[in-house]
Amino acid sequence: MHITIPKKRSVRNTITSLMIVTVACIAILSPIVGIVGNVAADTAPPSGLPATVSIDPLPTVQVNGIVWAQVTVGDTVYATGRFTQARPAGVAVGGAGTVTRSNLLAFDITTGVLKTNFVHSVTGTGTVEGRSIAVSPDGTRLYVGGKFSAVDGMARSNIAAFDLPSNTLVNGFSSGTNNTVRAIAATNTRVYIGGSFTQAGGQTRQKLAAYEKSGTLVSAWNPSVTVTGGPSGASVSALVVAPTQGNLVIGGYFNRIGTSTYLSSGAVKLDTGALVPWASQSPSYRIRDQLNSAGVLGDGTSINSLSIDSNGAQVYLTSYAYVSSHGDGTFEGRAAIDPANGNIIWANDCRGDSYSAFPIGQVLYSTNHSHDCRPIGAFPEVVPRHSQRALAETTYATGFNTAGGSTSYYPDYSGFPRGTQLNWYPTLNTGTYSGSGQAAWSVTGNTNYISLGGEFTKTENVAQQGLVRYGIASKAPNKYGPIAYKTYGVIPMTSANSSGQATISFKTTADNDNTRLTYALYRNGGSTPIYTTTAYTTFWNTPSITFTDSGLIPGSYNRYRMVVTDPFGNSTTTYSLYDDNNPAIAYSAGNWVDSQARGNGDFGGGIHYSLDNGAKATFTFTGTNIALVTEKNADRGTISVSVDGGAATTVSVYAASFAAQQTVYSKTGMTNDLHTITVTKLSGSYIDIDGFLVK
């Protein structure tokens, strides 16, 4: 039974344009080597796992639109999409250094600087854009496909070629296709194109065509890709050459190649176009669109990209699944398949559409909007959903998928081999240019750098539009460290017992490109840690650590600070906080209510509050800095705060809307002695005490 479920908006018509990689960096393959568990690799990985690039965004040329596809040749990245300008890193739209670039540009991946010796314009009427790009294995011929009618003022219908040694437009290809070219793959002598066209070179061609490098259509090469009994027409969105087998691997939305069944993927021979027996011809193949109960092809799965490692042992695909009345998709995530027959080598069942993938060494980088990767032992459903925009995984299997995940309508891939998700989680904001609510669409790179292309405008909250680079540790500043604690009171205050001991429990944090973090705990402003430990954590798995402090004065409250440091010396510091229900805080001169388990986001789940003007809260502490943490809201008014009996300061706790854990008053630079802070209600409906932060 097929049920229409509004899981998410289908972006099939948008994502069928993604980067097709025909050259890749070395991928070292291995069989399953044992389940790695929750330990994930990073820029300084645990033994046995490959290192990733850092999450430090490196300055990169920007565009004023969207980058759909990229390819790397040596140290040069060629990028195409829908944009009219390029500008240096750090420059706002239209700012200094802005130059014209019509849907195609090149930049140096080692510096991020725009290339000035590769200047070409891709133009036409209506929506004009480059949608696909590839290079010949010898690096001498660049091919660009998309939706356009001219290049450099010369007639070119959706396909063009450039000679890279001279950076000049190649004569030929003047008679292109009658619709968008969404995928390109090349050998040194031919180029293969796929898309939504029905004509190429003036001849009938159903979604596939081949040209000689000179631009002449190969008349004898004519396999067709179609949809029989489907809700919409076929489209080829991904191609890659498997040179060892002599195969052209095809991905997209279709159920026929020639007159034979191929569901979403297949292959033909490079030289003749003859059909290659493929695993997707079987109804039991697990990465495919499927027929609904009426025998009609659904609109549920499309292969969005294909790439291959340099030794040709594995082809990597990205896919999406969509549940609708037309039929259910079967797979979201990344997978490795055999380029000889399409057999699945491993499949990372990670919920959320995947758009592009690129292997570098033993790491597969991908762009996506993954939101639930529990089946592969990684993060659960994240909020906000689709917040992960790029991922890194091993190119080899390390374990097996398990059951579980966000919703029951996803297929179960339990028992399928899967790789390990590595600890690389860059932050990119959602772009608006395509209207699809996505960020990064394509990925490319070399052994030292990767480049993400898309429609984002910020990375790690740094303005950077459409393109961004990331480097391996030796090429990066490595300045992004442990995630700062979002709330106070990570170290709850407890008094020393009669034996002079206090149990200190604190929650660990995470780092988006390092799992191994060191925790150093200091007491009462000391310069030597009383406790040091190392823990491996991820953003979704931050367990608590417990330590028993001793040699304390029975009944005393001691303040603590904790410094968390990554392998590169980046650190974040958090301090102990006295919660509102700590007995060291005295409440008087009013009717105070201890309101716990309110669920309003207060530290410890609750606050102390009073409605009485003149109600007081007094706290005696030892330290140099003090801060009051409370709520703000529209029904709050003012309070007065006095330290050590000094002049009172009037503080507003009003806000147009409710906000918890707000620091409304702080005082610093005091002597490291005993002090008293008094908080008094002056006006408004409530006075709230959430806690006192002591440094």
DSSP code per residue over 64-91: SSEEEEEEEETTEEEEEEE-SEEE-TT-
345 within 8 A of 334, measured Cβ to Cβ: no
Q: What is the pLDDT of residue 30?
A: 31
Does the pLDDT value for residue 259 go beyond 60? yes
Cα–Cα distance between 357 and 305 in angstroms, integer? 7
pLDDT-wise least confident of 54-58, 147-151, 345-349, 501-505: 501-505
**Per-residue pLDDT tens over the stretch 75-128:** 999 999 999 999 999 999 999 999 999 999 999 999 999 999 999 999 999 999
For a pLDDT cut of 70, what percent of the chain falls above it? 88
| CA 549 from centroid of its chain's CA atoms | 40
Confidence of residue 32 (pLDDT cuts 50, 70, 90): very low
Does the pLDDT value for residue 330 go beyond 80? no
Question: Dihedral, CA atoms, 130, 136, 137, 138, nearest 10 degrees?
Answer: -130
Q: How confident is the model over 166-185, as a mean pLDDT?
A: 95
Helix (H) or strand (E) holding 134: strand 129-135
Burial 376-399 (b: 16+ CB within 10 A, else e): bbbbeebeeebbbbbbbbbbbbbb
Confidence of residue 4 (pLDDT cuts 50, 70, 90): very low
Confidence of residue 473 (pLDDT cuts 50, 70, 90): very high
E strand map for 136-278: 141-147, 150-151, 154-155, 159-163, 168-169, 181-186, 190-195, 199-200, 203-204, 208-212, 225-226, 235-242, 247-253, 256-257, 260-261, 265-269
Q: What is the pLDDT of residue 16?
A: 36
**Can you give the length of the chain in residues?**
695
Mean pLDDT of the chain: 88
For a pLDDT cut of 90, what percent of the chain falls above it? 72
Q: What is the pLDDT of residue 23?
A: 33
pLDDT-wise least confident of 168-182, 237-251, 292-306, 470-484: 292-306
Q: What is the pLDDT of residue 578?
A: 86
> Which one has a higher pLDDT value, 257 or 605?
257
Q: How confident is the model over 556-579, as a mean pLDDT?
A: 90
The CA angle 455-351-17, to the nearest 5 degrees, is: 40
The CA angle 489-490-493, to the nearest 5 degrees, is: 60
Does the pLDDT value for residue 35 go beyond 80? no
* Closest listed residue to residue 676, CA positions, set 620, 614, 601, 593: 620
State the DSSP code for 170: P
Does the pLDDT value for residue 7 go beyond 70? no
Q: What is the pLDDT of residue 19?
A: 36
179 within 8 A of 197, measured Cβ to Cβ: yes
User: In one letter, which amino acid is 73?
Assistant: V
Phi, psi (5° rounding) for residue 489?
70, 30
Please tell me which of 360-369, 385-394, 614-623, 667-676 the model is most confident about, judged by mean pLDDT: 360-369
Confidence of residue 321 (pLDDT cuts 50, 70, 90): confident
User: In one letter, which amino acid is 402?
Assistant: T
> Which one has a higher pLDDT value, 219 or 382?
219
**Residue 15, SS3 per DSSP:** helix
User: In whole angstroms, how far apart are CA 74 and each of 71, 169, 568?
Assistant: 10, 20, 29
* Closest listed residue to residue 116, CA positions, set 144, 86, 138: 86
**Per-residue pLDDT tens over the stretch 512-559:** 999 999 999 999 888 999 999 999 999 999 999 999 999 999 988 888
* Closest listed residue to residue 337, CA positions, set 282, 263, 280: 280
Q: How confident is the model over 607-634, as a mean pLDDT?
A: 93
Does the pLDDT value for residue 610 go beyond 50? yes
Confidence of residue 386 (pLDDT cuts 50, 70, 90): low
User: In whole angstroms, how far apart are CA 591 and each of 498, 594, 611, 613?
Assistant: 32, 10, 7, 10
Q: How confident is the model over 462-482, as a mean pLDDT?
A: 97
Q: Which two tokens stand for residue 609?
A: 């509050």
Cα–Cα distance between 354 and 251 in angstroms, integer? 13
Cα–Cα distance between 656 and 365 in angstroms, integer? 43
Q: How confident is the model over 11-28, as a mean pLDDT?
A: 35
**Residue 503 neighbours by CB under 8 Å, 6+ apart:** 494, 546, 547, 548, 549
